[in-house]
Amino acid sequence: MQGTPGLWQQYRLRILSGLAGLALGASLARAAEPAPAAIAPAPAVSSAAAPLVLDLPGCRKLALEKQPALAAYRASLTAAQAKAQALEELRLAALVRHDLPLRRQQAAQAVQAAQAQVCQAEWDTLYAVTRLYWTAVYAQTQVQLADDLLAPGSLKDPHIRELRNRVQEVGNPEGKSRPERPDITANRFKQLDSLIHLTEAQRAEALWSRERARAALREAIGLCEEGLLIVGAALEQPVPAVPICREQIVALALARRGEATQAAMAVELAGLEVEAQGKSYRCTFPTFASFGDIHAQQVPMTESDGFYRPGGVALEMPVSLVGKRCGRVDQAQALNGRAAAVQEKVKNLITLQAEDAFCRYQQAYEQTQKFQQAAREAEEAATDMAAEFLRNSRVHVRTPEHVLREEILPLITEVIQLRIQAVQLRVRTNEQRFNLLLALAQLEHVTAGGFCPGFDGQPIRPELSMPLSPISPK
C-alpha cells in the first residue's frame, strides 16, 4: 500500500507529459501552416428597419393575426372545447352523477358561446382598426389642406400667403400714378396674418393628431414597430348610395351579433340548470358555472354624450346553489328568468345600436353631398373674387343722380370673407367625408359584417348570410 502513491505520481507525470506533447505538436503544426487570408468585415447593417407600408385591407388582415386580445379569446375557445371533450370522456361517472348528460349539453353550448365571443371580438378589432385608419387619413388630409392654403398658389388662384402679398402690392404701389386703395388698411393685413397663423396652428394640430392615430392604429393591429405608413386611401374617394333600409340593418344585427348568440345560449344553459338541480338531493350542488362558464357579455353603449345611452345587464349564476332540492330548483328558475331578461335587454340594445348606426349613415351621406357642393361653389366664388380684385383697381360708375363716382370693386373685405368661407367649407367637407366613412364602418360593426362597406376590396353590399365560424384567416 505504501508504493501506491509513487505509482500514481508516475502515471500522472506520464499523462501530463503526453498532453504536453500533444499540445506542442498541435502548436508546431499550426505554425507550419500558411497564415489564413484576412476575412473582409461584414457590411454594416442599418439599425433602422424599413417602415411597414399597409393599406386598409392589409391593416385589417394583419390585425386578425397579430392582436393579442384575439389570441386571448381564441385561447378561451380552446379551453371551452377541451372542457367539453373532458366531460365526454367521463364514461363511468354517469353512474354516480346523474346530471352528467346535462352538463355535457351545457359544455357544448358554452363552446358555441365562446365561438360567438371570438367572432364578436374579431369584428370589434376590425372596427377599431378601420376607425383609426380613417382617423389617420383624415388628419393627413387636413395637413395637406393646410399646406395647400399656405403654398404660393398662382395669380388666378392665390392662396392665403400669396393673397396677402398681392394685397400689399395693390394697396401700396411703387409708382405714384396709382393711388393707394383706401379699403386696404393695416387691420386688413392683420386679418390675413391671423388667418395664416390660424392655418399654421391647425396644421400643427392635424400633424400631431395623425401621429397619435398612427400610434393607436399600431396598438389596434398588435404591432410593436414604430415605423408604420398607411397608403392607398383618400377621403375624396366616392361612396355610392347603398339601397338599404332600417329593418334590414336591424335584422342583420340581431341575426349575426355575438352578444345575441351568447345571450341565447345563456337562456338555454339556465333552463338546463333547472333540470340539473332536480337530479340531486344534496344540500349544496354545483351549477353550470363550474362546468362551462358562458362569459356572457353586455352590450354597453360606448359613447357618452347628450343622447340616451343605456347600459346592459349582466348574467348572474353562482358556482353552486345551496338548500333542499326544491329550494335549489326555485333559485335556478329565478336565475333562468334573469337570463331571459338579459336576452331581451340585449336584443333591445342591439336594435337601438342598429337604428342609430343607420340614421348616422343617412345623415352623413346627405350632409356630405351638400357640403361638397357648397365647398365647390365657395371655392369658385373665392377664386373669381380674388382674380377680380387683382385685375381691377378703380372703376367709374354713374349714380342715379347722373354723377360719375369712383368705386372700388371688389373690396378687400369681400375677398377675405369669401376666402375664409371657402376654407371653412373645405374643412367641414373633409370632416363630413370622415364621418361618412366612420358611419360605414359602424354599419359593418353593428351588423357583424352583415353589411359590407367594401373596406377589404369588395363592392358595397348588404349580406344576408350568418357566419358559422370566426373570420380569422387560416
Confidence bin at 244 (pLDDT 50/70/90): confident
Integer Cα distance of 330 and 39 in angstroms: 84
Residue 380 has pLDDT above 80, yes or no: yes
- 107, 106, 115, 125: which is closest to 75 by C-alpha? 115
pLDDT in tens, 38-73: 444 444 444 455 677 788 888 899 999 989 999 999
Q: Which residue has the higher pLDDT, 75 or 307?
A: 75
Report the first-to-last Cα separation within the chain, whole angstroms: 76
pLDDT of residue 325: 86
Q: What is the mean pLDDT of residues 100-118?
A: 86
pLDDT of amino acid 226: 64
Q: In the structure, what pLDDT confidence band is assigned to residue 130 with cuts at 50, 70 and 90?
A: very high
pLDDT of residue 46: 42
Tallying the residues shown for the chain, one arrives at 474
pLDDT at 227: 65
Q: Looking at residues 338-352, what average pLDDT do you find?
A: 91
Q: What pLDDT score was predicted for residue 352?
A: 92
Q: Whole-angstrom Cα distance, residue 46 to residue 153?
A: 40
Q: What pLDDT, on the 0 to 100 scale, is given for residue 84?
A: 86
In the structure, what pLDDT confidence band is assigned to residue 350 with cuts at 50, 70 and 90? very high
| More confident of the two residues 248 and 313 | 248
39-71 CB burial, b ≥16 within 10 A, e <16: eeeeeeeeeeeeebebebebbbbbbbebbeebe
- Is a pLDDT exceeding 80 seen at residue 281? yes
Q: Mind listing the pLDDT tens digit for each residue in 64-107?
A: 998 999 999 999 899 888 988 888 888 777 666 778 888 888 88
The percentage of the chain sitting over the pLDDT mark of 90, rounded to a whole number, equals 20
pTM of the model: 0.74
Q: Could you give the domains of the chain?
A: 52-295+309-462 (1.20.1600.10)
For residue 232, CA distances in Å to 118, 342, 352 come to 29, 43, 34
**What pLDDT score was predicted for residue 228?**
66
